[in-house]
A and B are shown apart, each in its own frame.
Chain A
Amino acid sequence: MSDIMADENDGVRLTETQRRRRRSRSIAIALVLAGLVVLFYVVTIVKLGPGIMNRPM
Protein backbone atom coordinates (compact mmCIF):
# COMPACT_ATOMS: atom_id res chain seq x y z
CA MET A 1 0.00 0.00 0.00
CA SER A 2 2.66 2.48 1.00
CA ASP A 3 4.63 1.48 -2.13
CA ILE A 4 1.68 2.33 -4.33
CA MET A 5 1.32 5.69 -2.63
CA ALA A 6 5.01 6.35 -3.09
CA ASP A 7 4.69 5.50 -6.79
CA GLU A 8 1.79 7.88 -7.11
CA ASN A 9 3.81 10.61 -5.48
CA ASP A 10 6.67 9.94 -7.90
CA GLY A 11 4.38 10.56 -10.89
CA VAL A 12 4.85 13.33 -13.42
CA ARG A 13 4.56 16.72 -11.79
CA LEU A 14 3.79 19.54 -14.15
CA THR A 15 5.36 22.94 -13.69
CA GLU A 16 3.14 25.99 -13.64
CA THR A 17 4.11 26.76 -17.27
CA GLN A 18 3.31 23.22 -18.39
CA ARG A 19 -0.01 23.37 -16.58
CA ARG A 20 -0.87 26.66 -18.30
CA ARG A 21 0.11 25.31 -21.72
CA ARG A 22 -1.89 22.15 -21.16
CA ARG A 23 -4.91 24.27 -20.32
CA SER A 24 -4.50 26.38 -23.46
CA ARG A 25 -4.10 23.21 -25.57
CA SER A 26 -7.25 21.77 -24.01
CA ILE A 27 -9.17 24.95 -24.80
CA ALA A 28 -7.89 24.89 -28.39
CA ILE A 29 -8.97 21.25 -28.81
CA ALA A 30 -12.38 22.08 -27.34
CA LEU A 31 -12.80 24.97 -29.80
CA VAL A 32 -11.78 22.77 -32.75
CA LEU A 33 -14.24 20.06 -31.69
CA ALA A 34 -17.02 22.61 -31.26
CA GLY A 35 -16.17 24.00 -34.69
CA LEU A 36 -16.40 20.51 -36.18
CA VAL A 37 -19.82 19.99 -34.58
CA VAL A 38 -21.05 23.25 -36.13
CA LEU A 39 -19.48 22.34 -39.49
CA PHE A 40 -21.09 18.89 -39.57
CA TYR A 41 -24.45 20.37 -38.60
CA VAL A 42 -24.35 23.16 -41.20
CA VAL A 43 -23.06 20.89 -43.99
CA THR A 44 -25.81 18.38 -43.24
CA ILE A 45 -28.42 21.12 -43.61
CA VAL A 46 -26.76 22.42 -46.79
CA LYS A 47 -26.47 19.01 -48.43
CA LEU A 48 -29.84 17.61 -47.43
CA GLY A 49 -31.80 20.88 -47.35
CA PRO A 50 -35.50 20.64 -46.56
CA GLY A 51 -35.34 16.89 -47.20
CA ILE A 52 -33.52 16.42 -43.91
CA MET A 53 -36.74 15.38 -42.13
CA ASN A 54 -38.11 13.48 -45.11
CA ARG A 55 -37.07 9.90 -44.60
CA PRO A 56 -38.99 6.67 -45.03
CA MET A 57 -40.18 5.16 -41.77
Chain B
Amino acid sequence: MSDVGSINERYETGEGVGDASVGDFWALLKPRVMSLVIFTALVGLVLAPGDLHPVLAITALMCIAIGAGASGALNMWYDADIDAMMSRTAKRPVPAGRVTPGEALGFGLMLSAGSVLILGLFVDWLAASLLAFTIFFYAVVYTMWLKRSTPQNIVIGGAAGALPPVIAWAAVTGRVDLAPLSLFLLIFLWTPPHFWALAVLKTRDYARAGVPMLPVVAGERTTRWQILLYSALLVPAGVLPAACGIAGIPYVIVSLVLGLAFVWFAVAIVRAVDQPALAKACGRLFGYSILYLFAMFAMLLVERAAGVAPLPALIGG
Protein backbone atom coordinates (compact mmCIF):
# COMPACT_ATOMS: atom_id res chain seq x y z
CA MET B 1 0.00 0.00 0.00
CA SER B 2 1.30 3.46 -0.78
CA ASP B 3 0.43 6.86 0.60
CA VAL B 4 -0.52 10.08 -1.16
CA GLY B 5 3.06 11.37 -1.18
CA SER B 6 4.47 8.39 -3.00
CA ILE B 7 1.61 8.43 -5.54
CA ASN B 8 2.37 12.05 -6.40
CA GLU B 9 6.09 11.30 -6.51
CA ARG B 10 5.56 8.49 -8.99
CA TYR B 11 3.35 10.80 -11.03
CA GLU B 12 6.20 13.29 -11.35
CA THR B 13 9.12 10.91 -11.81
CA GLY B 14 7.38 8.33 -13.95
CA GLU B 15 8.58 5.58 -11.62
CA GLY B 16 6.63 2.39 -12.02
CA VAL B 17 5.88 2.96 -15.71
CA GLY B 18 5.77 -0.44 -17.36
CA ASP B 19 5.05 -2.44 -14.21
CA ALA B 20 1.39 -3.01 -15.01
CA SER B 21 0.00 -6.29 -16.23
CA VAL B 22 -2.96 -6.61 -18.58
CA GLY B 23 -5.03 -7.59 -15.54
CA ASP B 24 -4.19 -4.29 -13.86
CA PHE B 25 -5.57 -2.32 -16.80
CA TRP B 26 -8.60 -4.59 -16.80
CA ALA B 27 -9.10 -3.81 -13.09
CA LEU B 28 -9.07 -0.08 -13.91
CA LEU B 29 -12.30 -0.65 -15.85
CA LYS B 30 -14.09 -1.79 -12.66
CA PRO B 31 -15.31 -5.02 -14.32
CA ARG B 32 -17.98 -5.75 -11.71
CA VAL B 33 -19.61 -2.34 -12.22
CA MET B 34 -19.18 -2.83 -15.96
CA SER B 35 -21.08 -6.13 -15.85
CA LEU B 36 -24.09 -4.37 -14.29
CA VAL B 37 -23.85 -1.64 -16.92
CA ILE B 38 -23.76 -4.23 -19.72
CA PHE B 39 -26.77 -6.03 -18.29
CA THR B 40 -28.95 -2.93 -17.78
CA ALA B 41 -27.95 -1.59 -21.20
CA LEU B 42 -28.79 -4.95 -22.78
CA VAL B 43 -32.29 -4.70 -21.31
CA GLY B 44 -32.61 -1.17 -22.75
CA LEU B 45 -31.57 -2.50 -26.17
CA VAL B 46 -34.00 -5.40 -26.08
CA LEU B 47 -37.00 -3.40 -24.84
CA ALA B 48 -36.58 -0.45 -27.20
CA PRO B 49 -38.99 -0.48 -30.12
CA GLY B 50 -37.37 -0.66 -33.52
CA ASP B 51 -34.75 -2.71 -35.28
CA LEU B 52 -31.04 -2.41 -34.79
CA HIS B 53 -28.76 -4.77 -36.71
CA PRO B 54 -27.23 -7.30 -34.27
CA VAL B 55 -23.70 -6.15 -35.18
CA LEU B 56 -24.63 -2.55 -34.38
CA ALA B 57 -26.40 -3.64 -31.18
CA ILE B 58 -23.26 -5.48 -30.03
CA THR B 59 -21.18 -2.44 -31.00
CA ALA B 60 -23.47 -0.17 -28.98
CA LEU B 61 -23.31 -2.48 -25.97
CA MET B 62 -19.54 -2.67 -26.21
CA CYS B 63 -19.19 1.11 -26.44
CA ILE B 64 -21.46 1.65 -23.43
CA ALA B 65 -19.45 -0.93 -21.45
CA ILE B 66 -16.10 0.55 -22.45
CA GLY B 67 -17.33 4.10 -21.76
CA ALA B 68 -18.39 2.98 -18.28
CA GLY B 69 -15.02 1.29 -17.81
CA ALA B 70 -13.24 4.43 -18.96
CA SER B 71 -15.04 6.53 -16.37
CA GLY B 72 -13.99 3.92 -13.79
CA ALA B 73 -10.35 4.36 -14.85
CA LEU B 74 -10.65 8.15 -14.61
CA ASN B 75 -12.23 7.73 -11.17
CA MET B 76 -9.30 5.56 -10.04
CA TRP B 77 -6.83 8.08 -11.43
CA TYR B 78 -8.37 10.99 -9.53
CA ASP B 79 -9.21 9.11 -6.34
CA ALA B 80 -5.88 7.31 -5.91
CA ASP B 81 -5.10 9.42 -2.82
CA ILE B 82 -8.26 8.44 -0.95
CA ASP B 83 -8.28 4.90 -2.35
CA ALA B 84 -4.87 4.41 -0.71
CA MET B 85 -6.39 5.20 2.69
CA MET B 86 -9.30 2.77 2.51
CA SER B 87 -9.01 -0.99 3.05
CA ARG B 88 -11.59 -1.76 0.33
CA THR B 89 -9.71 0.18 -2.36
CA ALA B 90 -6.04 0.22 -1.28
CA LYS B 91 -5.21 -2.74 -3.52
CA ARG B 92 -6.49 -1.02 -6.67
CA PRO B 93 -3.80 -0.73 -9.35
CA VAL B 94 -2.97 2.97 -8.89
CA PRO B 95 -2.72 3.20 -5.08
CA ALA B 96 -0.92 -0.16 -5.02
CA GLY B 97 1.68 1.27 -7.40
CA ARG B 98 1.21 -1.17 -10.28
CA VAL B 99 -0.23 1.47 -12.64
CA THR B 100 1.01 5.06 -12.59
CA PRO B 101 -1.58 7.86 -12.36
CA GLY B 102 -0.51 9.07 -15.81
CA GLU B 103 -1.13 5.64 -17.33
CA ALA B 104 -4.58 5.46 -15.71
CA LEU B 105 -5.46 8.96 -16.94
CA GLY B 106 -4.28 8.27 -20.49
CA PHE B 107 -6.07 4.91 -20.56
CA GLY B 108 -9.32 6.46 -19.30
CA LEU B 109 -9.23 9.40 -21.72
CA MET B 110 -8.38 7.22 -24.71
CA LEU B 111 -11.18 4.74 -24.01
CA SER B 112 -13.65 7.58 -23.34
CA ALA B 113 -12.93 9.26 -26.66
CA GLY B 114 -12.85 5.95 -28.54
CA SER B 115 -16.11 4.60 -27.15
CA VAL B 116 -18.02 7.87 -27.73
CA LEU B 117 -16.67 8.29 -31.27
CA ILE B 118 -17.38 4.70 -32.32
CA LEU B 119 -20.89 4.81 -30.83
CA GLY B 120 -21.59 8.09 -32.63
CA LEU B 121 -20.11 7.15 -35.99
CA PHE B 122 -21.51 3.61 -36.14
CA VAL B 123 -24.78 3.77 -34.22
CA ASP B 124 -26.30 7.06 -33.11
CA TRP B 125 -25.04 10.50 -32.08
CA LEU B 126 -27.72 11.06 -29.41
CA ALA B 127 -26.62 7.84 -27.73
CA ALA B 128 -22.97 8.91 -28.10
CA SER B 129 -23.76 12.30 -26.54
CA LEU B 130 -25.49 10.60 -23.63
CA LEU B 131 -22.48 8.31 -23.18
CA ALA B 132 -20.14 11.33 -23.20
CA PHE B 133 -22.37 13.03 -20.65
CA THR B 134 -22.36 9.89 -18.48
CA ILE B 135 -18.56 9.72 -18.50
CA PHE B 136 -18.30 13.46 -17.76
CA PHE B 137 -20.89 13.21 -14.99
CA TYR B 138 -19.15 10.28 -13.29
CA ALA B 139 -15.55 11.42 -13.74
CA VAL B 140 -15.96 15.16 -13.22
CA VAL B 141 -19.26 15.95 -11.47
CA TYR B 142 -19.25 12.93 -9.14
CA THR B 143 -15.58 12.03 -8.70
CA MET B 144 -13.94 15.46 -8.75
CA TRP B 145 -16.69 17.50 -7.15
CA LEU B 146 -19.57 15.77 -5.33
CA LYS B 147 -17.71 12.84 -3.78
CA ARG B 148 -15.49 15.02 -1.61
CA SER B 149 -17.96 17.82 -0.93
CA THR B 150 -21.43 16.55 -0.03
CA PRO B 151 -23.09 13.59 1.71
CA GLN B 152 -25.54 13.59 -1.22
CA ASN B 153 -22.61 12.53 -3.44
CA ILE B 154 -23.89 9.10 -4.35
CA VAL B 155 -27.52 10.26 -4.63
CA ILE B 156 -26.70 12.73 -7.41
CA GLY B 157 -23.76 10.74 -8.75
CA GLY B 158 -26.05 7.72 -9.09
CA ALA B 159 -27.40 9.34 -12.26
CA ALA B 160 -24.26 8.22 -14.09
CA GLY B 161 -24.84 4.57 -13.21
CA ALA B 162 -28.52 4.87 -14.11
CA LEU B 163 -28.04 6.13 -17.66
CA PRO B 164 -26.86 2.97 -19.56
CA PRO B 165 -30.39 1.68 -20.37
CA VAL B 166 -31.31 5.18 -21.59
CA ILE B 167 -28.21 5.26 -23.83
CA ALA B 168 -29.07 1.82 -25.18
CA TRP B 169 -32.68 2.90 -25.86
CA ALA B 170 -31.41 5.97 -27.70
CA ALA B 171 -29.06 3.76 -29.73
CA VAL B 172 -32.07 1.85 -31.10
CA THR B 173 -34.68 4.58 -31.38
CA GLY B 174 -32.64 7.75 -31.75
CA ARG B 175 -34.65 9.38 -28.96
CA VAL B 176 -35.25 9.32 -25.21
CA ASP B 177 -38.72 8.29 -24.04
CA LEU B 178 -40.37 7.97 -20.65
CA ALA B 179 -39.98 4.17 -20.69
CA PRO B 180 -36.16 4.16 -20.44
CA LEU B 181 -36.42 6.99 -17.94
CA SER B 182 -38.44 4.65 -15.71
CA LEU B 183 -35.45 2.27 -15.82
CA PHE B 184 -33.21 5.24 -15.05
CA LEU B 185 -35.34 6.11 -12.01
CA LEU B 186 -35.21 2.52 -10.79
CA ILE B 187 -31.39 2.43 -10.77
CA PHE B 188 -31.21 6.03 -9.50
CA LEU B 189 -33.33 5.25 -6.42
CA TRP B 190 -31.60 1.91 -5.91
CA THR B 191 -28.13 3.46 -5.67
CA PRO B 192 -28.39 5.30 -2.30
CA PRO B 193 -29.54 2.36 -0.14
CA HIS B 194 -27.05 0.09 -1.94
CA PHE B 195 -24.07 2.37 -1.23
CA TRP B 196 -25.18 3.62 2.18
CA ALA B 197 -25.43 0.04 3.43
CA LEU B 198 -21.80 -0.37 2.37
CA ALA B 199 -20.88 3.04 3.81
CA VAL B 200 -22.24 2.07 7.23
CA LEU B 201 -19.95 -0.96 7.15
CA LYS B 202 -16.99 1.17 6.05
CA THR B 203 -17.70 4.35 8.03
CA ARG B 204 -14.23 4.45 9.61
CA ASP B 205 -12.54 4.06 6.24
CA TYR B 206 -14.55 6.91 4.72
CA ALA B 207 -13.95 9.11 7.78
CA ARG B 208 -10.20 8.47 7.63
CA ALA B 209 -10.14 9.31 3.92
CA GLY B 210 -12.20 12.47 4.54
CA VAL B 211 -15.03 11.38 2.23
CA PRO B 212 -18.27 12.95 3.52
CA MET B 213 -20.46 9.87 3.16
CA LEU B 214 -23.83 10.14 4.88
CA PRO B 215 -22.94 7.94 7.91
CA VAL B 216 -19.78 10.00 8.46
CA VAL B 217 -21.47 13.41 8.23
CA ALA B 218 -25.06 12.90 9.36
CA GLY B 219 -24.54 9.87 11.57
CA GLU B 220 -25.74 6.34 11.62
CA ARG B 221 -29.31 7.07 12.75
CA THR B 222 -30.05 9.43 9.86
CA THR B 223 -28.46 6.98 7.41
CA ARG B 224 -30.69 4.14 8.61
CA TRP B 225 -33.83 6.22 7.99
CA GLN B 226 -32.58 7.46 4.63
CA ILE B 227 -31.94 3.84 3.57
CA LEU B 228 -35.53 3.02 4.53
CA LEU B 229 -36.90 6.07 2.73
CA TYR B 230 -35.18 5.26 -0.57
CA SER B 231 -36.06 1.57 -0.23
CA ALA B 232 -39.74 2.51 0.18
CA LEU B 233 -39.54 4.77 -2.90
CA LEU B 234 -38.17 1.81 -4.86
CA VAL B 235 -41.46 -0.10 -4.55
CA PRO B 236 -43.58 2.30 -6.68
CA ALA B 237 -40.57 3.08 -8.90
CA GLY B 238 -40.23 -0.64 -9.59
CA VAL B 239 -43.74 -0.76 -11.04
CA LEU B 240 -43.23 2.29 -13.29
CA PRO B 241 -41.80 0.34 -16.28
CA ALA B 242 -45.18 -1.42 -16.48
CA ALA B 243 -46.99 1.92 -16.39
CA CYS B 244 -44.76 3.05 -19.26
CA GLY B 245 -45.78 0.07 -21.38
CA ILE B 246 -42.58 -2.02 -21.33
CA ALA B 247 -43.55 -4.65 -18.75
CA GLY B 248 -46.44 -7.00 -18.07
CA ILE B 249 -48.31 -8.43 -15.10
CA PRO B 250 -45.65 -11.02 -14.11
CA TYR B 251 -43.10 -8.23 -13.84
CA VAL B 252 -45.46 -6.14 -11.68
CA ILE B 253 -45.97 -9.04 -9.28
CA VAL B 254 -42.24 -9.85 -9.08
CA SER B 255 -41.30 -6.17 -8.68
CA LEU B 256 -43.76 -5.73 -5.81
CA VAL B 257 -42.53 -8.85 -4.02
CA LEU B 258 -38.85 -7.94 -4.51
CA GLY B 259 -39.52 -4.29 -3.58
CA LEU B 260 -41.30 -5.23 -0.36
CA ALA B 261 -38.44 -7.59 0.49
CA PHE B 262 -36.07 -4.65 -0.05
CA VAL B 263 -38.11 -2.60 2.44
CA TRP B 264 -38.05 -5.54 4.85
CA PHE B 265 -34.23 -5.61 4.73
CA ALA B 266 -34.20 -1.81 5.25
CA VAL B 267 -36.53 -2.12 8.26
CA ALA B 268 -34.07 -4.62 9.74
CA ILE B 269 -31.38 -1.93 9.46
CA VAL B 270 -33.57 0.64 11.23
CA ARG B 271 -34.42 -1.84 13.97
CA ALA B 272 -30.89 -3.15 14.55
CA VAL B 273 -30.22 -2.80 18.28
CA ASP B 274 -26.43 -2.88 18.37
CA GLN B 275 -23.39 -2.60 16.11
CA PRO B 276 -23.04 -6.31 15.21
CA ALA B 277 -26.76 -6.46 14.35
CA LEU B 278 -26.47 -3.28 12.28
CA ALA B 279 -23.41 -4.58 10.42
CA LYS B 280 -25.23 -7.84 9.72
CA ALA B 281 -28.36 -6.05 8.49
CA CYS B 282 -26.34 -3.70 6.26
CA GLY B 283 -24.37 -6.63 4.82
CA ARG B 284 -27.61 -8.41 4.04
CA LEU B 285 -29.20 -5.38 2.36
CA PHE B 286 -26.05 -4.73 0.33
CA GLY B 287 -26.02 -8.31 -0.94
CA TYR B 288 -29.77 -8.34 -1.55
CA SER B 289 -29.68 -5.01 -3.40
CA ILE B 290 -27.40 -6.50 -6.08
CA LEU B 291 -29.69 -9.49 -6.45
CA TYR B 292 -32.72 -7.15 -6.55
CA LEU B 293 -31.49 -5.04 -9.44
CA PHE B 294 -30.33 -8.07 -11.38
CA ALA B 295 -33.68 -9.83 -10.85
CA MET B 296 -35.76 -6.79 -11.82
CA PHE B 297 -33.94 -6.32 -15.12
CA ALA B 298 -33.76 -10.07 -15.73
CA MET B 299 -37.56 -10.21 -15.33
CA LEU B 300 -37.98 -7.61 -18.07
CA LEU B 301 -35.80 -9.75 -20.35
CA VAL B 302 -37.60 -12.98 -19.44
CA GLU B 303 -40.98 -11.41 -20.17
CA ARG B 304 -39.81 -10.23 -23.57
CA ALA B 305 -38.25 -13.63 -24.36
CA ALA B 306 -41.43 -15.43 -23.26
CA GLY B 307 -43.60 -13.15 -25.36
CA VAL B 308 -45.54 -11.72 -22.41
CA ALA B 309 -47.55 -8.74 -23.60
CA PRO B 310 -46.66 -5.48 -21.85
CA LEU B 311 -49.50 -3.64 -20.11
CA PRO B 312 -50.91 -0.68 -22.00
CA ALA B 313 -48.87 2.44 -21.27
CA LEU B 314 -50.54 4.70 -18.73
CA ILE B 315 -47.87 7.35 -19.11
CA GLY B 316 -45.66 8.22 -22.04
CA GLY B 317 -47.42 5.81 -24.39
Could you list which residues of chain A lie within 8 angstroms of chain B, going by C-beta atoms? 14, 18, 21-22, 24-25, 28, 39, 42-43, 46-47
A-B contact number at CB 8 A = 29
CB-based contact B18/A18 at 8 Å: yes
Cα(A49)–Cα(B145), bound, Å: 46
Of B2-10, B53-61, B291-299, B303-311, the segment with at least 4 beta carbons within 8 Å of chain A is B53-61
B21 partner, pick from A24, A39, A43, beta carbons under 8 A = A24
For this complex, 12 residue pairs linking A to B, each with C-beta atoms less than 8 Å apart, are A14-B18, A18-B18, A21-B18, A21-B21, A24-B22, A25-B20, A25-B22, A25-B25, A28-B25, A39-B59, A43-B56, A46-B55
CB-based contact A43/B22 at 8 Å: no
Q: Chain B residues with Cβ under 8 A from A22's Cβ?
A: 18
Task: Pick the 5 closest A-B CB pairs, nearest first.
Answer: A28-B22, A46-B55, A21-B21, A43-B122, A24-B22
B51 close to chain A: CB less than 8 A: no
A43 to chain B, nearest CB (A): 5
Cα(A25)–Cα(B21), bound, Å: 7
CB-based contact A42/B55 at 8 Å: yes
CB-based contact B59/A43 at 8 Å: yes
Q: Which residue of B lies closest to A21 (CB)?
A: B21
Return the CB mask of B56-75 against A: 1 if under 8 Å, else 0: 10010000000000000000
Given known A-B contacts A39-B59, A42-B55, A47 and B20 have beta carbons under 8 A apart: no
Q: Chain A residues with Cβ under 8 A from B22's Cβ?
A: 21, 24-25, 28
Interface size on B, residues (CB 8 A): 12
CB-based contact B59/A18 at 8 Å: no
Cα(A22)–Cα(B20), bound, Å: 8
Q: Chain B residues with Cβ under 8 A from A42's Cβ?
A: 55
CB-based contact A21/B19 at 8 Å: yes
Beta-carbon contacts under 8 Å, B1-34 to A: 18-22, 25
Q: Chain B residues with Cβ under 8 A from A43's Cβ?
A: 55-56, 59, 122
Q: Chain A residues with Cβ under 8 A from B20's Cβ?
A: 21, 25
A25 to chain B, nearest CB (A): 6
Cα(A15)–Cα(B22), bound, Å: 17
Cα(A25)–Cα(B107), bound, Å: 13
Cα(A28)–Cα(B56), bound, Å: 23
Q: Chain A residues with Cβ under 8 A from B118's Cβ?
A: 39
A24 to chain B, nearest CB (A): 5
Q: Which residue of B lies closest to A20 (CB)?
A: B21
Q: Chain B residues with Cβ under 8 A from A24's Cβ?
A: 21-22
Q: Chain B residues with Cβ under 8 A from A46's Cβ?
A: 53, 55-56
Q: Chain A residues with Cβ under 8 A from B21's Cβ?
A: 21, 24-25
Q: Which residue of B lies closest to A35 (CB)?
A: B62
Return the CB mask of B275-300 against A: 1 if under 8 Å, else 0: 00000000000000000000000000
Cα(A14)–Cα(B25), bound, Å: 19
Beta-carbon contacts under 8 Å, B41-94 to A: 53, 55-56, 59
Q: Which residue of B lies closest to A44 (CB)?
A: B122
Q: Chain A residues with Cβ under 8 A from B59's Cβ?
A: 39, 43
Q: Chain B residues with Cβ under 8 A from A25's Cβ?
A: 20-22, 25
Q: Which residue of A lies closest to B55 (CB)?
A: A46
Q: Chain A residues with Cβ under 8 A from B18's Cβ?
A: 14, 18, 21-22
